[in-house]
Structure 1
Amino acid sequence: MTDQVDHQVTIDDLAELMKRTAGVSVDPLILEEESGSGWDTFGLDSLGLLGIVAELEKRHGMGLPEQMERCKTPADFLAVVNGVLMKGA
């Protein structure tokens, strides 16, 4: 991922963030196929999700809404993150 605000966060980016910030290894293809499943399907808890949010905020130099923590699935999370990034572009 780059520091550009207009960069969309992809499934591959999310899988990499899950591994690096939460220690959860997920194949991006499986993450994409199961993106409507809950985070617990992939072994990610709320603290892991907070780590991902913090890393994205740092990379993009902008805050993400508090409701990010309430996104129940990777698909929801990516939709919100990418929506915020597009507004900030």
Structure 2
Amino acid sequence: MDTQLTYAELASMMERRAGVSVEPLQLELRSAERFTEFGLDSLGLLGIVGALENEYGASIPADADACKTPAELLTVVNDVLKARA
């Protein structure tokens, strides 16, 4: 896996972990919209954060599951991954 989370990877995780299907390009174009607009609730986001920790072997900040938008989540996760590099 790459050292940065991409919209394509996030879209795939949303589908695998929460059953929410969204095209990666749409997720990127609408990255400032709330996760709820895509049909992802807080429990689904919590599952994604846990999966990210497992896949990247990194400790994601506890407040990551409070991110409201895909852009916010990518920023938090990628900041952690950059700091580890």
* TM-score, shorter chain, exceeding 0.5: yes
Do the aligned residues in 1 keep the contact of 2:4 with 2:78 (CA within 8 Å)?
Answer: yes
Deviating 4+ runs (over 3 angstroms): none
Q: What is aligned with 2:62?
A: 66
Q: Deviations over 1:26-83 (max 9, x none)?
A: 0111111110000011000001101110111001112100110111100010011000
TM-score where L is the length of structure 2: 0.95
Percent of matched pairs sharing the same residue: 52
Alpha-carbon distance in 1 for matches of 2:25, 2:54: 26
Q: Deviations over 1:1-44 (max 9, x none)?
A: x1x6xx10000000000000111000111111110000011000
CA RMSD of aligned residues (A): 0.9
Matches within 5 A, 1:1-89: 2=1, 7-89=3-85
Structure 2 regions of 5+ residues with no counterpart? Answer: none
Structure 1 regions of 5+ residues with no counterpart? Answer: none
Alpha-carbon distance in 1 for matches of 2:29, 2:76: 19
TM-score where L is the length of structure 1: 0.91
Aligned length: 85
